[in-house]
Amino acid sequence: MRDHPIPPVTEPLQYRAIGVVRGVYTPHDDEQLTRGVLTDSAGNALETVVLGRVMTLMRRHLSMDQPHLWVVYPRCRESDHLHLQIAGIWEPSTLSPDAADLTDSLPEGDDYFSVRGELIFTKPETGDLVIKVRQQPRADGSRPLPFKLQIKGELPLEHLRHFVSLDLRRQGQELHLESHEVMAPMPTRGGKSKSGRGQASRRARN
């Protein structure tokens, strides 16, 4: 077991969108356990789906009426509505009781998100950003479509069409920018970036 639920970056221009949210997951009904809501301590209800590999873990090991720190992939289907995909759980005390050096809390705190992708929209005067994230090809070789995340924060217009790495904090139904790093210009259609660094990696770790 790793000492952190969010894996380290292995490539400078590696796409990803991943975070942690603490809350109680409640399915919509007993027949469809993979769809429900994740309710945080403030009462915010986040639309959520559970990825298949997590369901067995939830049934066997977790008290579902208690809050847990879930590892999630964020999506924004509406501007003021965050959608989550549960991909795992961070709870060493339950799942790895022998790992005495691991705790159930993280240094970044709850509601931390790491998003890496292309800045395709920024409006500093209103504090709105949009990041495009590409995903890894699936096992069958098909390529999922990129998705866009709407974020609250200010980035200068000169960073448009650049690959950026963002540290975010969830507040209710929104992801808010805490810090950022501009990695490189994105490649142009000719295959080279403005600085001549070549193409960005198209693999995402989410």
| Residue 147, pLDDT score | 95
Q: In whole numbers, what is the pLDDT of the chain averaged over residues?
A: 88
Alpha helices in 67-119 (DSSP H): 92-95
Q: Give the type of residue at 55.
A: M
Q: Give the type of residue at 97.
A: P
| Residue 189, pLDDT score | 64
| Residue 203, pLDDT score | 45
Q: How far apart are CA 85 and CA 102, in angstroms?
A: 24
| Residue 202, pLDDT score | 41
| Residue 77, pLDDT score | 77
Q: How far apart are CA 140 and CA 121, in angstroms?
A: 32
Mean pLDDT of all residues in 191-203: 44
| Per-residue model confidence as pLDDT tens digits over 10-54 | 999 999 999 999 999 999 988 888 999 999 999 999 999 999 888
User: Would you state the structure tokens that stand for residue 199, as one six-digit string?
Assistant: 């193409």
| Per-residue model confidence as pLDDT tens digits over 60-102 | 888 889 999 999 999 997 777 899 999 999 998 888 877 777 8
Angle at 80 between CA 132 and CA 125, to 5 degrees: 70
Whether 187 shows a pLDDT value over 70: the answer reads yes
Give the H or E element holding residue 10: none
Mean pLDDT of all residues in 187-206: 50
Percent above pLDDT 70 for the chain:
90
Alpha helices in the chain (DSSP H): 52-61, 92-95
Mean pLDDT of all residues in 121-144: 91
Q: How far apart are CA 203 and CA 185, in angstroms?
A: 17
Distances (CA, A) of 25 to 94, 114, 121: 17, 22, 33
| Residue pointed to by tokens 């009462």 | 43
